[in-house]
Structure 1
Amino acid sequence: MKFFWIILSFFLFPSLFYGQEGFQYYSKKKKITIPFKLINNLVFVPLEVNGVDLTFLVDSGVEESILFSLEDKEELTFNNVEKIMLRGLGSSDYIEGLKSSGNQVVFNDAIIDQNHEIYIILDEELNFSGSVGIPVNGIIGYQFFKNFKVEIDYVSHKIHIYNPSHELKRKKMSKFKKLDFLLHNNKPYLASLFEFDSQKVEGKLLLDIGNSDAFWLFANKISNYTFPKQSFEDFLGKGFNGDIFGKRTKLGSFSFDDFTFKNPYVAIPDSTSLQNVKWAENRIGSMGGEIFKRFTLIFDYQNSNLYVKKNKNYKQPFEYNMSGIEINHAGLQWIQEEESLNTNFVTRDKTSYESSFRGSEKVKYKFVLKPIFVIAHIRKNSPADLSGLKKDDIVVRINGYGIERYSLQEVNALLKSQDGKKINFEIDRGNRRMKFTFYLKSIL
């Protein structure tokens, strides 16, 4: 286990750090490009905080920058720290945190904020690295967008931040559809007349690229629409104050402006999970990454515009996890494997250690670094639940292959793949190795 230290400093940075507002563009280039990882429809970018390399989720649904995990970092200094209490989605009350100002945050050596305010979550349980399979240290939202035109290309997995002293070419912009949005508490909302299954509903949707689902809809805010009866209770995610539960269902269609989506799945959070939400007037829900990945986006916060252009993902079918289990990446471990001995050799690399022994047994022992995949949640009466799988089971093989063959994203894709598909799990439960079989089943 690697320990880390957070050094809380109350000394001020030099005055240079306080002369600018937000991120500044330190380059003569017309645009700065930042590669990102796209996992579960979410955008993860590299950045530096006070000289330390971190990974943050880009989330238009949050106002402040939040840091909550430093498990793989040895040292990070924060400045001008004060204790605060925070609230967010989830069913619990306030949680303890810290507020720090005067921090330097850098993207690609060219986009720099020398007086960045960061909220630090102290609860070690609030860490969604396990649910996406990579170390994630925090979230950045409004501050990332507010000073520039920011393009998100979901096909090339690149973000382009445009030089504010240059105008984007008309030829480029002519390929995009312009949508106006409203900023409330520094979060973008699309106000429109939406169409659910041919029924018109007026309201606002939060444009939330930090939400992996297509839509979250708030049933208690939509009085003139009856949701489909076919639905199921599910774990929807994790908020600052705890787990978020609700229902999932499927609409026949969802339309706004010139765009129509056939058979999208929607999540309906329960009222307990929404008790801490600061409601924008007439807000009826959120639009998330499952929709945005079907477009190339250009956010222009200064003019309250979102430009969208369809990409090759636009007509992809909507999917959901039919197994009923949520799997988390719980770290790595060295596993000893026994193989027949063909030659005598010793090899070392970053992920394995092999040693061979002469003698009558003729056995080779290979130590392999493998991921630990754990069942974090299981839906009652789901195919996986009915097969006998349980929360906290450690998955060691899927469909006959060792778990090291899969990334967490590939496992999640498999569990959404095809109605009726046979899935074989081999798991460790305590000191027992057990096998289970279930079939994916669509209930929507």
Structure 2
Amino acid sequence: MKKAYIFLSFLFFSVVVYSQEGFQYYSKKNKVTIPFKLINNLIFIPLEVNGVELTFLLDTGVEESILFSLDEKEELKFNNVEKIKLRGLGSSDFIEGLKSSGNRVVFKDAIVDQNHDIYIILDEEFNFSGSVGIPVNGIIGYQFFKNFKVEINYLTNKIQVYNPTKMIKKKKINKYCVTDIVFHNNKPYLSSLFNLDSQNVQGKLLLDVGNSDAFWLFAGRINDYSFTKESFDDFLGKGFNGDVFGKRTKLDSFSFADFTFLKPYVAIPDSTSLANVKWAENRIGSIGGEILKRFHIIFDYKENKLYLKKNRNFKDPFHYNMSGIEINHAGLQWVQEEVNLNSILVTKNDDSYGVSNNNSDRFKYKFILKPIYIIAHIRKNSPADLCGLKKGDIIVSINAHGTNRYSLQEVNNLLKSQDGKKINFEVDRGNRRLKFTFYLKSIL
């Protein structure tokens, strides 16, 4: 079950946003390379805002740049600040925020916007760093893409931003499948005839780099198609205004352009979560990172083109989290590590010496940093729920190994690894240390 850790694809603002000149290219090279971290199919890139280094999620599903967490970067200063209200996906109403203009945003000292608008979310709960296990300060989307051809290589974890005065070599482009994209509120869509379970469906799908699922489909907006296969209710992630819930199911196949995907999982958000969405005409869903990571991709916003070439991930099977729990990274803690020492006792008897081992000593000699993993959500009647685990449990060990052995990505991979796999958790609940065992179970 791929988790859409961020669902700002539907983000819109209660104020009118006017286009800025945007990022300019200040390198003599034909392209600028930006490394990124890929976590749960999401792309995280380094940038500077007003001289301070930050990490942002790259998300084609948002128009403006959003900042929501500074951690220990209080020295960051903003220009020309005004109060606004923001609204997006989720079940709540508007939330308060700030708009700051005239900010300097820089990528690799070569891609620079001297007059960048940033929207600041004041709600401290809107912070998904815990969902991905690294500090994340904000989101950037359309403003990054609009002036350049941008290539994403999911295998090397590198983005190439091409000099807008140069052409990409035809020899390279000829290896790609090229398709047209259309824009609504500066977000890119495929507008096409799609094939769901051998049934043709006409509509638009948002190309959503900031959604980690394979597909999102909106059941009420797909004409003459119904989801008849087995499904289950699930927590889909956290949106702009609260938690997002819906169903998960599996298709036999899904096709667009020249590409067909077998047995993909899809998420179907419920109507409450979609209440605040401003719909693009004929929109039926989204294509997320679980699909996009199977390609080399070039976005060309100026020419309304998308270039796709299969990479070695293309035929990978689709997996989902079978445990029923969502785990968040809740920080780090110092813990004592015990080390067994072999004490050597030397004795003298007349002219000879004897050596013996004394293994009774245990010496606590150092502290280590261990991640704090907490159960943030648990699906009713899931294997984890039925064994007795609860929301709020702090995980101490997994399969008899301390949590410092695992990154959050590795924990999530373990929970979708194999039907029938045995998982042992040791948790802290209040003042008690408890042990639980469950088995991963596929229900799709």
* TM-score normalised per structure 2: 0.91
- C-alpha distance 228-115 of structure 1, shift in aligned 2 (>3 A): same
Task: Find runs of 4+ consecutive structure 1 residues off by over 3 angstroms.
Answer: 359-362
Match of 1:208 in 2: 208
Alignment partner of 1:371 is 2:390: no
> Relative contact order, CA 8 A, sep 6+: which one is greater?
2
Q: CA deviation at 1:443?
A: 0.3
Label 1:280 to 1:423 Cα distance change in 2 as closer, same or farther (>3 A). same
Between the aligned partners of 1:72 and 1:439, the Cα distance in structure 2 is 40
2:13: which partner in 1? none
**Mean alpha-carbon deviation: is it higher for 29-38 or for 74-83?**
74-83
Partner of 1:10: none
Q: In structure 1, what is the equivalent of residue 47 of structure 2?
A: 47
The C-alpha deviation readout for 1:123-148, integer Å capped at 9, x for no partner, is 00000000000000000000000000
Q: 1:258 — aligned with what?
A: 258
User: Are residue 429 (structure 1) and residue 429 (structure 2) matched?
Assistant: yes
Of 331-340 and 152-161, deviating more is 331-340
Q: Distance in 1 between matches of 2:395 and 2:325?
A: 12
Structure 1 residue 367, shift from structure 2 partner: 1.2
For 1:144, the equivalent position in structure 2 comes to 144
* Equivalent residue number for residue 337 of structure 2: 337
What is the CA deviation profile of residues 165-186 of structure 1, one whole-angstrom value per residue up to 9, with x for unaligned ones?
A: 1100000000011010001100
**1:123, 1:262 → 2: CA distance?**
40
- Given that residues 91 and 275 in structure 1 are in contact (C-alpha distance below 8 angstroms), is that contact kept between their aligned partners in structure 2? yes
1:107 aligns with 2:103: no
Structure 1: stretches of 5+ with no match in the other structure: 1-19, 345-358
**Paired amino acid for 1:186:** N
Question: Which whole-Å deviations, capped at 9, do the CAs of 1:97-117 have from their partners, x for residues lacking one?
Answer: 000000000000000000000
SS in 1 for 2:302: helix
- Cα pair 1:341 1:364 within 8 Å, conserved: no
1: CA distance, partners of 2:115 / 2:407 = 37
SS in 1 for 2:209: coil
Instruction: Return the alpha-carbon distance in structure 2 between the equivalents of residues 379 and 365 of structure 1.
Output: 41
In the alignment, what sits opposite 2:5? none
**SS of residue paired to 1:78:** coil
Q: What corresponds to 1:268 in structure 2? A: 268
Identity of aligned residues (%): 77
Distance, in Å, in 1 between the alignment partners of 2:314 and 2:138 is 29
Determine helix, strand or coil for the equivalent of 2:76.
strand
Q: Structure 2: which 5+ runs fail to align? A: 1-19, 345-358
What value does the CA root-mean-square deviation take over the aligned residues? 1.4
Q: Per-residue CA shift, 1:183-217, capped at 9, x if unaligned?
A: 11000010000010011110000000000000000
The letter of the residue matching 2:81 is: V
Q: Are 2:72 and 1:72 aligned?
A: yes
Query: Cα distance, 1:75 vs. partner?
Result: 1.2
Q: Deviations over 1:248-299 (max 9, x none)?
A: 0000000111100000000000001001111000000000000000001000
1:219 aligns to 2:215 (yes or no): no
CA separation of 1:24 and 1:342: change in aligned 2, threshold 3 A: farther
Structure 1 segment 227-266 matched on structure 2, within 5 A: 227-266=227-266
Partner of residue 353, structure 2: none
Amino acid of the structure 2 residue aligned with 1:213: D
Give how far 1:362 is off: 4.6
Work out the number of aligned pairs and report it: 412
Provide the residue aligned with 2:395 in structure 1: 395
Which entry has the higher C-alpha Rg, 1 or 2? 2
- How much has 1:360 moved relative to structure 2? 8.1
CA–CA distance in structure 1, aligned partners of residues 371 and 197 of structure 2 = 43
Say whether the 8 Å CA contact 1:244–1:269 is kept in structure 2. yes
